[in-house]
Structure 1
Amino acid sequence: MTAYKNILAKIKAYDTIIIHRHMKPDPDALGSQVGLKEIIKTNFPQKTVKVTGYDEPTLDWLAQMDVVADEDYQGALVIVTDTANRPRIDDQRYLTGDFLIKIDHHPDEDFYGDLSYVDTTASSASEIITDFALHNQLQLSAQAARLLYAGIIGDTGRFLYSATTSKTFRIASELLKYDFDFSALARQMDSFPYKIAKLQSYVFENLEIDENGAARVVLSQDILKKFDLSDAETSAIVSSPGKIDTVQVWAIFVEQADGHYRVRLRSKSAIINEVAKRHAGGGHPLASGANSYSLAENEDIYQELKNVLKS
């Protein structure tokens, strides 16, 4: 594939490579970012490769970031993985390198980078990174395989989501050839603290569901404080409403410290990313994020989800 060859040529051409991903990272963001670092270091050990961004406490068991100085960007190749649009890139220094590459699987509505590879048919950015390595016959370490496998099962919901394809399974099977405990990894990703269990109970008890299967729940700052939770920790219950058979689309409104709401939108089949786009967000057709700046906008978003089902 020409795009993969071009990316590899740029990696070979630079001595310093800095890899970014999106804010508030999930397993795929970290898996693709740090997995790519491990691949480059394994195949080109003489290169300086660093990863940057906020260290997410709930995922520090998976990967942690490097210390990256401003001067590291001088003459460096910068790669951004799993990030659809520029405002979501963690660490705005990505603009200060010599050459910029975008690697992503979200709808390509923000064209950035000197070289861009976007495959919306891929289940995850981690699937793309693995495919890139296999296509170019690059060696993978066990650590790279662990990270990339975590990214794939994270973004596919353990292969439950519709983005999962035969290629996804084929690539995952390649990663399982490496020496890491995938069962322990899966258990780690599926477990959560007792306080999350109590939050999950709150969600089920307070979930509002209309007659067509549009659901919502609001997690206020008071609720977050009651359960001693950060915004990032609430991501553990995003899929919970979908376990109810009558729920078809749902929104989780999480109040932020400044009063606005981070809105996580999910759907079993109806397309909901257009709703997200109308409210300072975006994402996949069945999994998107948005922002709301008032209770009235919360109501608008919920009504739009209802309308999606009606249409």
Structure 2
Amino acid sequence: MSERTLEEIKHAIQQYQTIIIHRHKSPDPDALGSQGGLAELLRQSYPEKKIYQVGEAVGGLDFLITMDEIPDEAYQGALVIVTDTANTARISDSRYTLGDKLIKIDHHPNDEPYGDIAYVNTKASSCSEIIADLWQFFEDEWTLSEEGARLLYAGIVGDTGRFLFSNTSAHTFKIAADLRQFDFDATYLNRQLQEMPLKVARLSGIVYEQLEVDKNGAGKVILTQELLAELGINDLETSQIVSLPGVVDELVAWAIFVQQPNGHFRVRMRSKGPVINTIAKKYRGGGHPLASGANAKDMVEVEAIYQEIQEVCKNFVK
């Protein structure tokens, strides 16, 4: 980390009495882990300050944290920090613009710089790892609670696929080990992160059944509104099945196209090697080289995206 940037972040935190922390829409464990972990870190370190975590409802991840409800007036003279969010369009709760100063902390490619202060570390496994680094950098001054450690650990576990993904580094393991020194039930937490409702488990079977794979390992699944309504599943819940096709050995890269009520498709893309975020950027999205999201306005764009995935798989040399 840039020591100068870290000092700027600490100085801003010390300067403000009210600090409001945002994250991205449709939150995953890292979004909530980094947001809540930072909030807990600051609450323990600065008990005299008002620290809030805001955003849309967290759905099935409410075992991690819940959001604070605050009036617009709370933003007056406040410091706003956004974690795990690459671009402003994805920030949950548009009131992030109402604060006095804005800080961005993230690990996605910095395609849209924003904020008065920004720290982006694309080498980090997760934004939760960055927050843990921030805690350790100021360990003599800042205090992390058991709850903060639980949240940061959850975020790291979530974004590394339980330490199976290529973004897991030796440093990631060290940070995870340091967090495990705290007295929270990691076994129970891992079970909570892994468990899914029966209706989502049934969707998992449909995903495998409907998975289309070409000769070069490019895969796709289309989940229609009709199917989701039949199972009683919303868009947020479909995020739990995105990584499932990865166990298929013939598969190299894939996309799951989730139809929205307006007919558009949310596109969740994953890869075992070919870079896919370049595709995502063409279709109103972005993300990591091997894990990205995009949007397709109709079936024509669905097929166009799949054709591009087919092309990168065809040209990929293992």
Using the alignment, how far apart are the partners of 2:37 and 2:260 within structure 1? 31
Aligned partner of 1:88 in structure 2 is: 90
SS of 1:122's equivalent in the other structure is: coil
Aligned partner of 1:17 in structure 2 is: 19
Stretches of structure 2 that go unaligned for 5 or more consecutive residues are: none
TM-score normalized by the length of structure 2: 0.97
SS of 2:172's equivalent in the other structure is: helix
- 1:56 partner amino acid: V
Q: CA deviation at 1:194?
A: 1.2
1:121 correspondence with 2:123: yes
Q: How does 1:249-260 map to 2 (within 5 A)?
A: 249-260=253-264
SS of 1:5's equivalent in the other structure is: helix
- 1:187 partner amino acid: R
Q: CA deviation at 1:167?
A: 0.7
Q: How does 1:96-135 map to 2 (within 5 A)?
A: 96-135=98-137
Q: CA deviation at 1:5?
A: 1.6
Q: CA deviation at 1:55?
A: 1.2
- 1:99 partner amino acid: K
Aligned partner of 1:303 in structure 2 is: 307
Q: CA deviation at 1:11?
A: 0.5
Aligned residues: 311
Using the alignment, how far apart are the partners of 2:113 and 2:263 within structure 1? 31
Contact in 2 for aligned 1:4/1:136 (Cα 8 Å)? no
111-120 or 54-63, larger mean C-alpha shift: 54-63
Q: CA deviation at 1:217?
A: 0.4
- 1:19 partner amino acid: I
What is the RMSD computed on CA atoms of the aligned residues?
0.6
Q: 1:40-97: per-residue Cα shift (whole Å, max 9, x none)?
A: 0001000000011001221111110001110000000000000000100111111111
Q: CA deviation at 1:251?
A: 0.4
Aligned partner of 1:221 in structure 2 is: 225
Q: How does 1:209-248 map to 2 (within 5 A)?
A: 209-248=213-252
- 1:132 partner amino acid: L
1:206 correspondence with 2:241: no
Q: 1:238-270: per-residue Cα shift (whole Å, max 9, x none)?
A: 011111000000000000011100000000011
Q: CA deviation at 1:6?
A: 1.3
Aligned partner of 1:156 in structure 2 is: 160
Contact in 2 for aligned 1:260/1:294 (Cα 8 Å)? yes
- 2:213 partner amino acid: I
Contact in 2 for aligned 1:18/1:79 (Cα 8 Å)? yes
- 1:194 partner amino acid: L
Using the alignment, how far apart are the partners of 2:8 and 2:174 within structure 1? 24
1:167 correspondence with 2:202: no
SS of 1:178's equivalent in the other structure is: coil
Q: 1:200-232: per-residue Cα shift (whole Å, max 9, x none)?
A: 110111110000100000000011011110111
SS of 2:228's equivalent in the other structure is: helix
